[in-house]
Amino acid sequence: MEGLSAERPPPNPAMQPVRMVTAGDLLAALREGLRDFLRAPLFGLVIGGVFALIGVVIVLSLTVWGLPWLIYPFAIGFPLVGPFAAVGLYEVSRRLAAGERPSWRGVFAVIWAQRRREVSWMAFVMLFVFWVWMYQVRLLIALCLGLVSFASFEQFLSVIFTTQQGLIFLVAGHVVGGVLALVLFSITVFSIPMLLEREIDMVTAMITSLKIVFLSPVVMLGWGAFVTLAMLAASVPLFLGLLVVLPVLGHATWHLYRRAMPQQA
C-alpha cells in the first residue's frame, strides 16, 4: 500500500463507486467470514480474546470502583468499538483472498502501521462516541432517577425494571443509544476496511460508507441489528463468546465491503 504523493489530490467521494447490498450479499459474506475463521482460527481467537479480556478487565474495574450499575450500559455500548478491533481480521481476510498465507509478523505490522494512517483518527471518533454514550447514561440516570447510587448491579436492574422512573430511563437510554449506534455504524461499517485497503482520507471514507448504507437502508439496518445482537449475546458469558463471534463478524464485514465496492484497479 503505497502512500499518496504530495501532488496527488485526495479522492473525491463521488469518485468512489459503490453498489447496492442485498440480503444475498449478507448471507454470502457470513459464509465467507466463517470460512476465513476456519482457515486461520488462531488469528481470530487471539484478536477476539484480547477484545474479550479488555471487556472483563473493565467490568471488574467497575465492580472494584463501586460502579457496578455501569456494567449494563457498558455492555450495551461495548460493541460500538468492535469495527476498530477487527482491523487485524480485515488484513487476514485480505491476505487470504489474495492467495497469501497470513503471518503474525505481517498482520501485526499492518495493525501497527495504522497509527500513522487515517484509521487512527477513526479510532478516535469511535472512542469519542463511546464516551458520549457512557456520559449520556449518567446524565439520564441523574434526570430520571435522581442523584442516587446503587450498591449492586442487581439493585440497579431491580430499580430500572420495576419502577416508572426506571422504565423511562430504560426507554430514553435505548432511544439515544440507538441513534448514536446508527450514526456510528453508518460511518464506520465500510470506512475502516476502506481506509485499511485504500489511500483515501477519513472524511471520504465516512461519506462513502454512508452512501452504501443509504443505497441499501433496510438490508444494512438488518445487518447492524444482527451484528449488535450477536455481539451482545457473545458478551453475556464473561465476553467469552467474542472469541468466535468477533472474528467471524470481522471477516464477514470485510467480504461485505468487497461486495459493496468494486476492486481497485
Q: Mean pLDDT, to the nearest integer, of 223-236?
A: 86
pLDDT at res. 117:
81
Q: Between the CA of residue 127 and those of 26, 159, 185, 200, what are the distances in Å?
A: 27, 29, 13, 21
pLDDT at res. 216:
92
Distance between CA atoms of residues 192 and 190, nearest Å: 6
Residue among 43, 195, 36 nearest 108 (CA): 43
- Tell me the pLDDT band of 9, cut-offs 50, 70 and 90: very low
DSSP-assigned letter for residue 70: G
pLDDT tens sequence across 191-227: 989 988 888 888 999 999 999 999 999 999 999 889 8
pLDDT at res. 110:
85
At CA 132, angle to CA 148 and CA 217, rounded to 5?
Answer: 125
How many residues in the chain? Answer: 265
Between 27-36, 73-82, 216-225, the lowest mean confidence (pLDDT) is in 73-82
Distance between CA atoms of residues 142 and 172, nearest Å: 13
pLDDT tens sequence across 90-143: 999 999 998 999 999 988 888 888 777 888 788 778 778 877 877 787 788 788
pLDDT tens sequence across 42-51: 999 999 888 8
Is the pLDDT at 256 greater than 90? The verdict is yes
